[in-house]
Structure 1
């Protein structure tokens, strides 16, 4: 199915309208055979056209020539105009062309307070198709299931619990890698009791509040009564009730937008990602990546393929270590072989140094391979500085390098490119 929406302002320039119609004509001519269902709709502002015949009455020469151009394109593509009831006042300004009139069951128009145009309702025989669910990458970071930016996080209790931990017994093993794993397990247990879990993404694209659903059902019921009643006084009464309900719906939407905006503004400093996510909802255009060309010369057709090509490109820029240069035995490699050999035997640092290093982190920085979010380190740096000091000091003493100084990327294809 091809859906085309077009808006023509009143008194539109003939040159601009002709350019738009040329693009429309090229698009219709490029459609494959057999031709898919085509729907052309929009507010075209041709009040002098009488439907369903499509005949013209009095108007300016410029408007008439533009209407003739539109009709010539729709007739050549066998598009039929289906709206025959007024959409604004006594005029038919909003049009609906299709090459499959059998798919249209009925067309109705309802007055609404949200516009000076009537609300067109077109019932079709089309069934809603569901896009296949994209496979989301498996997340191995256990901290990612926790919402550390929630207002329900009990930071005082979490700090007290971590400070009361006996790190001497928890980190008694002399292997820095084992000590790091024990450290992560300990703070994860503490976080799971004081940090709420993230809410799973909703299965539906939008959530309609219950009170708004009730109002919409009442409005639909009144609209059905409006179509069947013949009394003018009854119609006026029903229309007044519909207008009142639409005002309540309008107030409901405005209150929700005000609340969301307040939440976003309050989180500018504490959680900038929340603020930018809110702003992104109002983006008029969506920037897409791809299609990209794979190594075999074939262009990517799906977000998954594009994501995989990017992942391979990012992986390719990292150099592989030379096998002969890999240190397999750190203790032997760093061993002093001569008595007079000058070497760096120690790097002195204190717990205060660890706290100062943590303070340099940004609260919204991405977590490293260990998965510990920066907000947890910043809010609990007094309690976590001691175990981190022990782990790094053991690493220097044993010449054992902790394998956390590495980068990683996780392909995550987004719907719509």
Structure 2
């Protein structure tokens, strides 16, 4: 899959026969710049469908369109307020159950078709005995009933089938339907994966709404002016300690702004750049990928068995070379650093689906603010309110607690024990800078802590946290899970 993405650069991937199951996380299979919505087969081996989209595309799973067949839907927001519904469907080659395709019909009937919604559904239908040029079934077909049912469904929902070139053994098994064929700029067959000779690549004339990842400012600490930093830190911290303000918020903001000012003046910066997500794809492998495409085009054009065998041979070579290069890269990346090794393993086990659409009061909430409100309601509902003072013991029964006074030595000890590699919180102060100038910053922090205790006031930053809900198990649309 990585080599296919490297070669053709798709934005959306419709996949069938994924053979995945619950214990396999997305990051173990898909590139890190893709998010995947899956419907795995749990009872028997094989099967499974997924839709993978680039992470900058806003795609939301449409659970309400799901039916009792291997089908999955996502909604992609387009520029101008329009929507694109993308579905993935799979039917096994030997499935003769007439009710199976009826589940596809039920799913399509749930789609709210209007002029602002474009529907696209693709997958391996395994019905190669259909002549889509005139929507007829080839004489002698063993699956005539199923083929006629699919033609009828396409006609019922005004769906046009766009794939015209064979995808396996001179038959069109992989299909792509849409209710707006004018958006299809091009359909071409690309070198196949697994046992399929070709994979349809669809070029749609649409513009999805995207989340633009803003470059982050990175401080280059190794090139910092340490003397300038030390002097600047000393100046603003002494002002805080000797200041006469009674506002904790003022002192904290002065502390925070002083650090950022010193960093900007004395530490060179650079903007984060996009990482190469496939560093193991070497120039030699890219050359083989181009050769594979050339041989595929030739085999498709001539229909010659010898040309087809040449294509299949180099396809195996590319797969073998890519796997070998990948594991060599993993070995070289992890062998010299325990931290990189565990970071690599952690990344593989980290699912990147994000927060799916959530059910609330019978409705499916898919927008970001709405999902945050649903989760907030869930957290609030399980919060224990302990304002009942009736059973509190009388104060006279206990001696008064002495005044708490924070000392500089204690603050300095905590700062020295910070993990400099950890990410900052909402206040954006990095542990690295706090640890680097412990002796200079500790007195100012001690002053702020003691003032907070004496006034009973917390700065706004201290009351703010980044909360990331983590899915446990069960229904992904339930906020409680």
TM score, norm. by length of structure 1: 0.58
Say which SS state the counterpart of residue 3 (structure 1) adopts: strand
Residues 279-358 of structure 1 mapped to structure 2, 5 A cutoff: 279-280=349-350, 283=352, 285-290=353-358, 302-304=367-369, 306-307=371-372, 347=404, 349-358=406-415
In the alignment, does 2:280 pair up with 1:199?
no
Other-structure match for 1:387:
444
Which of 418, 425, 443 is the matching residue for 1:367? 425
Does the 8 Å CA contact 2:216/2:271 hold for their aligned counterparts?
Answer: yes
Does the 8 Å CA contact 2:224/2:268 hold for their aligned counterparts?
Answer: no
Other-structure match for 1:173:
243
Alignment length (residue pairs): 360
Q: CA deviation at 1:367?
A: 3.1
Structure 2: unaligned runs, 5 residues or longer: 1-83, 386-398, 469-476
Structure of greater relative contact order (alpha carbons < 8 Å, 6+ residues apart): 1
Q: CA deviation at 1:25?
A: 1.0
Does the 8 Å CA contact 1:174/1:394 hold for their aligned counterparts?
Answer: no
Other-structure match for 2:174:
94
In terms of mean alpha carbon deviation, does 260-269 or 176-185 score higher? 260-269
Distance 1:105 1:395 in 2: 63
Other-structure match for 1:154:
222
Residues 145, 173 of structure 1: CA spacing in aligned structure 2 closer, same or farther, 3 A cutoff?
A: farther
Does the 8 Å CA contact 2:232/2:262 hold for their aligned counterparts?
Answer: no
In terms of mean alpha carbon deviation, does 359-368 or 41-50 score higher? 359-368
In the alignment, does 2:197 pair up with 1:118?
yes
Residues 115, 252 of structure 1: CA spacing in aligned structure 2 closer, same or farther, 3 A cutoff?
A: same
Distance 1:34 1:184 in 2: 52
CA-based RMSD of the aligned residues comes to: 5.9
Distance 1:315 1:173 in 2: 40
Distance 2:464 2:158 in 1: 55
Does the 8 Å CA contact 1:6/1:44 hold for their aligned counterparts?
Answer: yes
In the alignment, does 2:128 pair up with 1:128?
no
Residues 22, 286 of structure 1: CA spacing in aligned structure 2 closer, same or farther, 3 A cutoff?
A: farther
Q: CA deviation at 1:26?
A: 1.7
TM score, norm. by length of structure 2: 0.52
Other-structure match for 1:323:
none
In the alignment, does 2:86 pair up with 1:8?
no
In the alignment, does 2:265 pair up with 1:184?
no
In the alignment, does 2:189 pair up with 1:109?
yes
Does the 8 Å CA contact 1:222/1:242 hold for their aligned counterparts?
Answer: no
In terms of mean alpha carbon deviation, does 355-364 or 38-47 score higher? 355-364
Q: CA deviation at 1:67?
A: 3.8
Richer in strand (by share): 2
Distance 1:298 1:41 in 2: 27
Does the 8 Å CA contact 1:215/1:249 hold for their aligned counterparts?
Answer: no
Residues 227-266 of structure 1 mapped to structure 2, 5 A cutoff: 250=322, 254=326, 258=330, 262=334, 266=339
Say which SS state the counterpart of residue 46 (structure 1) adopts: coil
Distance 1:307 1:260 in 2: 41
Does the 8 Å CA contact 1:361/1:378 hold for their aligned counterparts?
Answer: yes
Does the 8 Å CA contact 1:162/1:187 hold for their aligned counterparts?
Answer: no
Say which SS state the counterpart of residue 154 (structure 1) adopts: helix
